[in-house]
Amino acid sequence: MFVLEREDAARARDAGIPAEVAGYASIADAAARPRDVDALVAHATSTPRSDLAEINAIGRQNASLVVRRPAR
């Protein structure tokens, strides 16, 4: 579980801040490289169609992030 909170609010209550959302964009829009990505949070609707679209989009950005498994 994680909680998104404004930084000033977290600091005001002296919370530990283990991570920061620095922004959002495609990797190219952020002037970053795929190896600069530490985490990728996928949140499709868990349907075969949306899951496939999401994994294909991830693969277009960095194929090494996609683990191919045989279909069951």
Which carries the bigger pLDDT value, residue 6 or residue 26? Answer: 6
Q: Which of 60, 63, 17, 65 is nearest to 41 (CA)?
A: 65
d(CA 4, CA 10): 10
Q: Which two tokens stand for residue 12?
A: 């005001």
Q: How much of the chain exceeds pLDDT 90, in percent?
A: 15
Say what the pLDDT of residue 12 is: 97
Task: Specify the pLDDT at position 71.
Answer: 60
Average of per-residue pLDDT across 62-72: 66
**pLDDT tens digit sequence for 39-59:** 777 776 788 888 888 888 887
Residue 63's pLDDT is 72
DSSP character at residue 14: T
Q: What are the structural domain ranges in the chain?
A: 7-65
